[in-house]
Amino acid sequence: MLELKKLDSGYDFLQVLWDVSLTVEDGEFIALIGPNGSGKSTTLRTIAGLIKPMSGDILFNGESIKNKPPHIISRMGISYVSEALNLFTDMSVQENLMLGAYAVKEKETQLNTLDYIYELFPRLKERKDQLAGTMSGGERKMLAIARGMMSNPTLMLVDEPSLGLQPNLTYDVFAALLKLVKQGVTILLVEQNVNATLDITDRAYILEQGKIVMSGLSRDMKANEHVRNAYLGI
């Protein structure tokens, strides 16, 4: 479904990613883990089209998307839930969600997805008329993920959903992601919470200093010496 081929990327003169290759198959739940500043967010931003890659290629369902603008990539079915959330703070929760379905043509589909989202996140339904900017950190995170789902994406790139969340909320978020995967959505997840991430994902890539240093099945990773030392603190 998604394939990065020898991707180099970064900001202006500062190259962050070096020769990154990874593949995500249909329906997989993939984790991308690594220390701070290793380029995980840059990878997602590059796929989403917010950063233009320096070289290499990005294939989505066999088609190169490396030179496509972000809104086209989004309309092709890739939804990026950024770390900064990028919510529309002066709009209500419902307006934010409806904008998430901006590219969806049929009104009926939009409303069906909205109902489903409200079922999944009842808290958002309670707050549907509240301004996004006035919500708590956890609620905003929920809203960002929910907004990302509104376009019925086939691939979701989720950046640090647990950052700054209480453990029980983190659990909710992960549960929601798992539910999505069960419905056939493919997810590429960037996470700091390595232990929990390796528990729920199928496969994982480890990114260190802008390079992929390791990849494999998540449960194998959990047993790996390097991962245990560096990320699990065991």
Partner 1 sequence: MTNETSAAPMTTVNFMTWVKDNLPVVVVSVFSIILFVLVGLKGGAPQVFNVLVTGGMWALLATGLALVFGVMNIPHFAHGESFMVGAYVAYFTFTPINKFFLTTGSKFLIYSGPILAIIAAGLAGCVLGIIIERIIFAPLRHRTKEGWVMNAFLLTVGLSFILVNGTTLTLGPNFRGIPRYFDVPSLEFMGAFIAVDRIVATVIALITIGSLWFFLRQTKTGRAIRAVSQDETGAQLVGIDLDFIQTLTFSLATGTAAISGASLLFMFQAYPTVGLTPLYFAWYVVMLVGLGNVAGAIVGGFIVALLQSATQLFIGLSWQSVVPTVVMILVLILAPSGIFGSEVKGVQEQ
User: Residues in the site for partner 1, rule: CB under 8 A?
Assistant: 48-50, 69-71, 74-75, 79-80, 82, 84-91, 95, 98-103, 147-148, 150-151
- CB 110 to partner 1: min, Å: 10
Residue 72 vs 217, nearer CB to partner 1: 72
Residue 40 vs 45, nearer CB to partner 1: 45
Q: What is the rounded distance in angstroms from the CA atom of residue 154 to the CA atom of residue 68?
A: 17
- CB 70 to partner 1: min, Å: 4
Residue 96 vs 193, nearer CB to partner 1: 96
- CB 74 to partner 1: min, Å: 4
Residue 103 vs 214, nearer CB to partner 1: 103
- CB 34 to partner 1: min, Å: 23
Residue 71 vs 219, nearer CB to partner 1: 71
**Two structure tokens written together for 204:** 């994982």
List of residues 6+ apart from 83 with CB closer than 8 A: 41, 159, 160, 163
Q: What is the rounded distance in angstroms from the CA atom of residue 145 to the CA atom of residue 194?
A: 19
- CB 215 to partner 1: min, Å: 27
Q: Which of 164, 17, 151 is nearest to 96 (CA)?
A: 151
Contact in structure between 116 and 122 (CB atoms under 8 Å):
no
- What's the sign of the alpha-carbon dihedral 221, 170, 74, 44? negative
Residue 101 vs 198, nearer CB to partner 1: 101
- CB 155 to partner 1: min, Å: 13
